[in-house]
A = this chain, B = another copy of it.
């Protein structure tokens, strides 16, 4: 397809939109969708996502990017182009609970996730059947805290071999080392349950039940060194009441996790997410 996206982040100042749109106009690029956001029109940070259409993107790509460099320099931009014809490669990591994996595979099968899924990695065997039935290579890499380095070395090799663009932790219940995370900055998407108030630590559903919460939630975020504290991509909740025991709450929570993670992954594939400090701008 002849669609591409340009993502920009720079200090806000007059003339940015004018310069970028003039540039696109001169390269016969048709703007399909454009979103922008500024933290403060005076001295703030400026963010922009433009989706555009242009003929022969494959051959024009290099010239397009080269010609953009002076503009990027002028406004001190962080920027990247992304081309729809270059389908993103996404690895899925999973443990025993398969609800999030299933949801992603389902969406992928029905054509709603335009990604390649070159492999699934797991520290358990539960997911093998469903993954292989779809013709996706499944790698079983047992893991525990004592062999973390070796495990991650194998994983990194696979990510490299398959030229993976980003990783989805679809309920992968192993802690990643700071080295692993650093090597994949803002390229690891995680999902976890969330509550009001938070129940940090073990058995959160039982504690939520004991406290009588009326809402069960899920949060999808990029992984940073600070466990479960990375930039939030998407959140949602579902209503529960006293009749729901901790087992019911868990099922309800899984259902929200499915949809929240699927939305986050779609936005990632559509280049809709810009990370700024510890938050996301989702266009």
Residues of chain A at the chain B interface (Cβ within 8 Å): 14-15, 17-18, 21-22, 24-25, 28-38, 41-42, 53, 99, 102, 106, 110, 112, 133, 194-198, 209-215, 217, 219, 228-229, 231-237, 241-243, 251, 277-282
Query: In the complex, A31→B35 CA distance in Å?
Result: 12
**A224: min CB distance to chain B, Å:** 12
**A269: min CB distance to chain B, Å:** 15
**A210: min CB distance to chain B, Å:** 6
- The answer, among B25, B110, B196, for a CB contact under 8 Å with A217, is B196
Query: In the complex, A14→B33 CA distance in Å?
Result: 13
Contacts of A277 in B (CB 8 A): 210
Report 14 cross-chain contacts, Cβ distance below 8 Å, ordered by A residue. Answer: A17-B21, A17-B31, A18-B18, A30-B41, A30-B42, A33-B243, A34-B34, A112-B251, A133-B133, A195-B196, A198-B198, A212-B232, A214-B233, A241-B282
Contacts of A211 in B (CB 8 A): 231-232, 278-279
Q: Are B53 and A41 in contact (CB under 8 A)?
A: yes
**A52: min CB distance to chain B, Å:** 8
Q: Are B31 and A36 in contact (CB under 8 A)?
A: yes
Query: In the complex, A17→B280 CA distance in Å?
Result: 26
Q: Determine how many copies of this chain the complex contains.
A: 4
Query: In the complex, A173→B99 CA distance in Å?
Result: 30
Asked if A281 meets B232 with Cβ closer than 8 Å, knowing A32-B38, A215-B237, the reply is: no
**A58: min CB distance to chain B, Å:** 19
Query: In the complex, A211→B195 CA distance in Å?
Result: 16
Contacts of A195 in B (CB 8 A): 196
Contacts of A99 in B (CB 8 A): 110
Query: In the complex, A31→B277 CA distance in Å?
Result: 23
**A18: min CB distance to chain B, Å:** 4
Besides A18-B25, A34-B34, A215-B217, 10 more A-B contacts (Cβ < 8 Å) are A14-B28, A17-B17, A30-B41, A33-B37, A210-B279, A212-B281, A214-B236, A242-B279, A242-B280, A242-B282
